[in-house]
Structures are given as structure tokens and as C-alpha cells.
Amino acid sequence: MPQAASSTAITELVWTWFLRQVDRFRGADIPGWVWVVLLWALMAFPAASLRGTHYEEGTVIGLARGALEDGHWLAPYLYGGRFVERPVLLSWMAAALGGVTGGVGIWSARLPHLLLLLAGGLMVYNLVLPHTRKAPAVFGALCWFACPMVAQKFVTAEPDVTLSVLMFGGFFLWWRGVSGGRVTLLRWTCIGVLLALSGLTKGPQPLAFFGLGVGAYILIKRRWSDVPGFILANAIAALSAAGWYGMVMASGDVQGWLAHSRLADSMTLQQWARDHLDFALSMIVEWAPGSLLLVPAIVAIARRELPEDRDLMLAAMLYATLGALVLLLWPGGVATRYAMPGNLGLAVICGILFDRWWFSRPWLIAMTNTVVVAVSAALVILGWVVIPASPDTFRQSKIEAQVIAGARTLVPGVVYASEATSKMNVLAYVPAPVRRAPLAELAKLATPALAVVSVAELAALRAANPALAVVGHAQLRGHPAVMVVEIRPN
């Protein structure tokens, strides 16, 4: 009995201590921006350290290596091949960081990406906070982090997040000026610089989100004094992008740029309708939770509800939707990731409505909150449980690079990859020198070399030069099958 009583007393003591810590934590006046940083860190780490390169991340790193290792800064090169379909700001940032840290690696690209992702959340928080309380402002930032379109690339260094945040930085500066009573010339110039950086990330087309959204607000509100500054900012962006295209342009590039802009797809009307219907339906999921509040927010603005918040909601709504509407009507193919910039505007709206409709439309806010919690929880579980429990599943690109490294001990020197290879994420881990080359060039190699080619390309290589000796060393995963082979010339 005394032992049981002692155990009960210890349990009560521990429980009392725990409740005191909870009360102390609740009573602590933790700034909202700290919560935004903590939520970002919780979702980003340790996944950012454990996840291997995937999606187009290997291409971003490869272009950064082309700048730092080969000196191709203005006109990008991807492992020896010219790559000028668009400017590549994120790769330039990764190359600059790699120059300080001793070489381009996965963190050279992921660190700028993650910091910009955080910057987007902090900007949403700071736009919402003056209109609500701390919790709804943090919720707005979380709507940016937990949007499915963003969440699936949370730790993946691709240019879409970079573009979205830089351009929203222009919107943020502009609205700060509007809410302060005047957008100064200096502020418009800074906005122009941010827009110029946005245009140097993926090309000038996405700038429609800022141009159409802010331009429409200026017209609706008749802010004629803002027109000269608006023209100046967009002119800075347009001239910067045009300058890059003009400096790198060579014969045949225009057709490539049209193809990259999806203006050379030659789609039939039926194909266009199917593609754009798929885009519209996918956006309902990819834009969540903002897509759940989009129509009710439009109705609220049209009815002149929420007068204290109407101007910011109108500006954010125009910013988010007009660019997406252009995508919906675009004559070529479209992808949902092109609409990522709109998510930041929707996140602002979500933060405001989370506070305003908490009691009046609880079912709608509950649906929105459920999506945010579900996606956020999925990111945390993936990063803290799933990936650590099975790390090899999520770093296949690094493992395959180790296979190539093993073969390289037998055949040192340049590692060649055929121009058609899709193993950019694997090559990102392979130390220099790495070169992509057409099969015709591989068939004429003068010294033994290691090459990464598909099985079909291997047959074509042998057909191009029957006297060529090709020795297989390993097979990499994927479809079609890719081989690591040693090419021995005559």
C-alpha cells in the first residue's frame, strides 16, 4: 500500500508540473513571426537534409555547376550543353553560394529556396496582422506553407517558389505604400527591381500576376497618381528580361523560347479544351485552402462586406486571380505550377477571413482549417517519421550517383551522359567533370570514358560504330532502363 501511494503521489506531482508548464507556455507572449519561423522549420527539417534531389532540382543544380565550374554565367549551360530557354536566377544564386562554400551542392540550391519560402510566409503574416490578431495572421502564413502546390515542393529547390516570393515582394512593398497613403518613386523603383529579379527567374510571362492584379486595382480605385510609378516598375522588369534575352540570343533561340512559353504546342481545339479543363479542375485541389474561400470572398467583396478589409482583399484577389485567368485562356498547354504566385494572395485572404468568419461562417472556416491542418501534419509526419524511417527510399538519386562513383574508380575522368538522359537528379551528386553529349559524339570518343545512356541509346551507339567496345558496369533504376557503361574506342 505505501508503495502504491508513493507511485500515485509521484504521478500527481508530474502531472501538476506538466499542467504548470502548459499554462506557462500558453501565457508566454511569443511574437507571431516566431510562430511562423517555427512552423516553417518544423516542416522543412529534417526532410531538407534527408530528401534526395527530385523533380527538376537536379537541373537547377546542374545549371549552377555550369556557372561556377565552367564559367557560363550569362548564358546557362547544363553539363556542357547550352540551355537558354529562360533565365535561371535560382541557379545563379546557388552558384554564388557555392562559390563561398567551396562548390555547388544540394544545399547551395535548397538554402535560398527555403529562405525565400519563409520570406513569403512572413510577408503574408505582416500583411494580415494589421487587420486581425496574431493567430489569424499566423494562419495566413500557414496557408502559404500548406498549400498542396507549395507543400509538394517544400524542400525542393525549383524556381516556382523563388518567382512567386520575389514577385509578391513587389506586391508587399506596393501595398505598404498604399496603406501608408502614398507609393513613393523610391518604392516603385524597389518594386521594379524585385519584378526584374522575378523576370530573371523563369522569364517575363509570370509577371502578369503583378501587372494585371495591381494594374486592375489602380484602375478600379482610380489611383491615377500611381500610374507613372507602375509604368516605371514594369519597365524596369521588362527591360531587364529583354536585355538578358538580347544578350544571349543566337540563331534558332526564338523558336525555343516560343516552345518554352507553350506557344508552339500546335494543339487542336479538343486537346486545348481537355488540357485547360484538367488545369481548372486541378487548381481546385492545388490552390486549397484558398480555393475553398475564393468564391465566398468574391461575393463578399461584390456585396461590399467587411469594409475595413475590403481594399486589401480586393487587391489580393485581383493579384491572385487575373494571372490565373490568363493561364486558363492561354493558347498553349498549361500546368498548375504556373499559378503558384496566386497562392500568396489567397493566403492573405484566408488569414483575414479566418478571423472575420470564425463565428459567422464556422463551417467554411472549419473546412479551410481542416485542409491546412491535414497538409501541415502530412509534411511534418513525412519529414520527421516517414523519411527517417526509410531514408534510402527518398534518396535514390544519391544512391545511384554512388553507383556511378563506384564505376568511376575503374574508369576515371569525364562522365558523359547522353543528351536524352533524364537522370539530372543523379548527375547533381556526381563530381565534375560531367558532360552531356549527343550519341554521335560519344561514338567518336578518342579515349576510354564512362557514359550514362539508356538501353535504346546503347543499341544506337553500337550501330553508329560497330567497332566500338561497350562494357556495362551497372544499371540504374527507372523507366526506360539506364546503363552505366564504359566506352572503349577502336
String of DSSP letters for 344-360:
HHHHHHHHHHHHHTTTT
What pLDDT is attached to residue 477?
A: 80
* C-alpha cell at position 245: 534575352
Indicate the range of 255-259, 296-300, 379-383 predicted with least confidence.
255-259
Look at residue 477 and give its three-state secondary structure: coil
Nearest to 409 by CA among 381, 439, 450, 445: 450
At 416, give phi and psi (nearest 5°).
-95, 150
Q: Report yes or no: 94 and 109 within 8 Å, Cβ to Cβ.
A: yes
* C-alpha cell at position 133: 490578431
What pLDDT is attached to residue 167?
A: 96
Q: Report yes or no: 201 and 312 within 8 Å, Cβ to Cβ.
A: no
pLDDT band at 6 (very low <50, low <70, confident <90, very high): low
Phi-psi label, residue 344: left if phi above 0, alpha if psi -120 to 50, beta otherwise: alpha
**Residues with Cβ within 8 Å of residue 293, at least 6 apart in sequence:** 346, 349, 350, 353, 364, 368
- Do the bridges between strand 434-437 and strand 81-82 make them parallel or antiparallel, or are there none, so unpaired? unpaired
What is the distance between the alpha carbons of residues 420 and 422, in angstroms, rounded to a whole number? Answer: 6
Mean of the per-residue pLDDT values of the chain: 90
Per residue in 104-124, pLDDT (tens digit) is 999 999 999 999 999 999 999
pTM of the full structure:
0.90
- Helices 32-44/106-128 angle, 10° precision: 150
pLDDT band at 438 (very low <50, low <70, confident <90, very high): confident
What is the distance between the alpha carbons of residues 346 and 287, in angstroms, rounded to a whole number? Answer: 8
Per residue in 333-348, pLDDT (tens digit) is 888 889 999 999 999 9
Region 166-170: what's the mean pLDDT?
A: 96
Is the confidence at residue 462, as pLDDT, over 80? Answer: yes
**Residues with Cβ within 8 Å of residue 77, at least 6 apart in sequence:** 63, 66, 67, 70, 83
pLDDT above 70 covers a percentage of the chain that reads 94
Region 449-473: what's the mean pLDDT?
A: 85
What pLDDT is attached to residue 458?
A: 83
DSSP 409: T
Is the confidence at residue 481, as pLDDT, over 60? Answer: yes
Region 39-44: what's the mean pLDDT?
A: 96
What pLDDT is attached to residue 483?
A: 87
Domain chopping of the chain, boundaries: 36-389, 396-488
What pLDDT is attached to residue 21?
A: 59
pLDDT above 90 covers a percentage of the chain that reads 63
What pLDDT is attached to residue 348?
A: 96
Nearest to 47 by CA among 134, 145, 132: 145
Is the confidence at residue 4, as pLDDT, over 70? Answer: no
Indicate the range of 121-135, 160-174, 320-334 predicted with least confidence.
320-334
What pLDDT is attached to residue 18?
A: 61
| C-alpha torsion angle, residues 206, 210, 212, 215 (rounded to 10) | -160
Per residue in 209-261, pLDDT (tens digit) is 999 999 999 999 999 999 999 999 999 999 999 999 999 998 888 888 888 78
Look at residue 296 and give its three-state secondary structure: helix
